[in-house]
Amino acid sequence: MKASILSRQGFSLDRLAGFCAVADAGSIVGAARGDAVRQSLLSRQIRELEECFATELVRRQGRGLVLTDAGRELAAIGRSQFAALDDFAALSGQKPLSISMAAPESAYQWIVLPRLAALKAAAPRTTLVIHHEDNAAIAARVQEGIYDFGFLRKTPAKGETAIAELGHFDYVLAAPRSLVRGREWSLAEALRHLPLALPVAGAMRDAVEAYASKMALPPLTVLLDYTSYIHATAALRSGACAAVLPSIGLGEFPADRFMTWPLSPLKMERPPFSLIWNQRNASVRPAVAALAEVMREVLSF
């Protein structure tokens, strides 16, 4: 057997676990939870790891710490290895495996949770732990091994991240029929006359405003600027306004009570909705690799 990292002075699994706890908490104080003795221990363990690897792992920033590139890499390695050990302990004890995922709330509502029974049937010994995040955070945190899976409305840079495209959203303007009152409006007429719920910013808002300008419409009547499609569905459900939504989110809005106009006339990109996972995790955790294949099939639309 080759000389192990475990034989190096300054390295131990306990030190690595402590470093990962600090990385996750963002500070030694947070990881120690106010225990002064634990704070001192963690500070010493980080110094010893830096000496062991002859590289800087953290830098102080205000009252917290930021990881260096080497620190982020070591934390990612540590998380995947400890998660693999947790999987082994769970399987040995006949307990369910814990798998984490991060997504915008709308992705859970429209894609993941409606297919929960199929996921359970395919992976019966798995407990899913779901976290709400926005697109900006998900890719980085999956890359770092903080989450096992992530869902994005864009294609991230590959790196260590494996990607499976699940489908593309089609967008519509939806309105309560009570606001339309039997009129046969075109998309432009609907935008002209209806109070609207629109994304506060981004490609969709830009595309709607560009289309309104092209059609020489007067200023749009925006009742609600939203940052989440869950807010848009609630606004639409209230009956007070029309809302821009992905068509996949219209299941609770029956055609006899709501009208829709496809937004195909708008010029905008339709980035894929993608499942991502960390390839390092998958290489040491068979459950992650197996569930990735299951989700590619079950969650595609």
Please write the tens of the pLDDT for every residue from 148-160. Answer: 999 998 766 656 6
Residues 47 and 178 in one domain: no
Say if 2 falls within a structural domain. Answer: no
CATH code for the domain of 29: 1.10.10.10
* Straight-line distance from the first to the last Cα atom of the chain, in angstroms, rounded to the nearest whole number: 49
Say if 257 falls within a structural domain. Answer: yes
For residue 125, how many other CB atoms are within 10 A of its CB? Answer: 12
pLDDT tier, 267 (very low <50, low <70, confident <90, very high otherwise):
confident
Burial class from Cβ neighbours inside 10 Å (0-12, 13-18, 19+) for residue 151 reads buried
- Give the best-scoring range by mean pLDDT among 158-167, 214-223, 275-284: 214-223
Residues 154 and 286 in one domain: yes
pLDDT at 2 over 60: no
Helix (H, G, I), strand (E, B) or coil at 222: strand
Residues 248 and 192 in one domain: yes
- How confident is the prediction for the chain on average, in pLDDT? 92
CB proximity list for 84: less than 8 A, separation 6 or greater: 284, 285
Residues 194 and 156 in one domain: no
Say if 88 falls within a structural domain. Answer: yes
Residues 79 and 225 in one domain: no
Residues 89 and 219 in one domain: no
Reported pTM: 0.85
Residues 45 and 27 in one domain: yes
